[in-house]
Amino acid sequence: QVQLVESGGGLVQPGGSLTLSCAASGFSFSSYAMRWYRQAPGKEREFVARIAMTGSITTYAGSVKGRFTISRDNAKNSAYLQMNSLKPEDTAVYYCNAVLPGTNTQYWGQGTQVTVSS
């Protein structure tokens, strides 16, 4: 069955770093673009970052540009979000998303909590 299994969330101090992982199975991972979204309490889900099938093209939300890095390893069927210089406003549930270009086919992970607090 199709699965996106996330890991790496937790509590981190302001200014710290954290890496989220998304392990995919049950579909042709290398054919999909990968994205990260986040949702804070009382707010709508917002786009964070995306990476193309080959990993050659990346896009970031302005709020995380220069601090976060999205990557993928097609040999491991995994996507990652490296988060540096974390701020309290980065606190949210982070979701992994896979989308097949040119189609309406998408898959979502279960979400993982990231809390930035001292």
Position 47 scores a pLDDT of 98
Which residues pair with residue 97 across a beta bridge?
A: 35, 108
User: 47-96, pLDDT tens digit by residue?
Assistant: 999 999 988 899 999 999 999 999 999 999 999 999 999 999 999 999 99
Position 54 scores a pLDDT of 83
User: 84-93, pLDDT tens digit by residue?
Assistant: 999 999 999 9
Position 55 scores a pLDDT of 81
Mean pLDDT within 29-40? 97
Position 56 scores a pLDDT of 85
